[in-house]
Structure 1
Amino acid sequence: MSSMTLFILFVNIIAVLFLVLNLLFAPHNPYAEKFSSFECGFHSFLGQNRSQFNVKFFIFGLCFLLFDLEITLVFPFAVSQSNNEIYGLIVVLIFLVLITLGFVYELGKGALKIESKQNTDFSSSTNSTINISFIEKNSTRI
């Protein structure tokens, strides 16, 4: 087999492996709002044409634009990989490391966090007291 065939096979195996790992280890917490329809993450109201956007959405847009430009800059290297030598590889790796460090810095600063209105406190004390009192009322003593 040629090296290109092995490369395509290896990429497909890695993709399937990541999908299986995601299915096995991803948290699964469905709630009603996940199944509702939405447009751009905002609830629509009748008669309201414009609403204020959170600045975080613009930050996500800028990150998308930066990573889109990254792909545009790395694509010529990938296409001409047979002509590139070690110097070209080093330049692209330095570029990718800088982009990755910038992304990690954004994650560390919390710039990509958007506050959710979802209730994530599943261990509510009111639910547990209601369940305990219900069990005590309906249990029979032997």
Structure 2
Amino acid sequence: MVSRSLEKMMLIAIGLSTAVIVGVPVLMYAMDTINTTSQLQEVHLAVEQIHNATRDVDNGVSNTTTITVWVNPGVTVTAVGNTLTVLFSNDGTVPRSWAATYNHDISIDHPILTTRIKEPYTVEIVLVDGIIHISFLAVPI
């Protein structure tokens, strides 16, 4: 009778150990995937805000506009001619980019600083002499 109880306890212990050994890495991977997806959604929202505000200035809706966006680590913004590109690359994820072409050339006067945490930036977009000037200014928290 004692040996059967011991046998059952050992089987339960082995089963629980296996569940923990297999389950913890799977859970960590799932949490990492959810975190990456969340960051990608946040970056996509910021990109839409930046491109929409730039499009408003480009189309003459206003000559100047200011927006505030939260910028995640791994985001860089570049401009070549009249194309504005936002790139997101973070810790082993596949880089993702969003580009838009405008009627006016674009100049980035103050780029996004490299950060390790998500930070708010004030984005000033101004049309001067046929060139769209974009400045990213970190907002102190």
TM-score (norm 2): 0.27
In terms of fraction of residues, the more helix-rich structure is 1
Higher strand share: 2
Which gives a bigger RCO, structure 1 or 2 (Cα 8 Å, sep 6+)?
Answer: 1
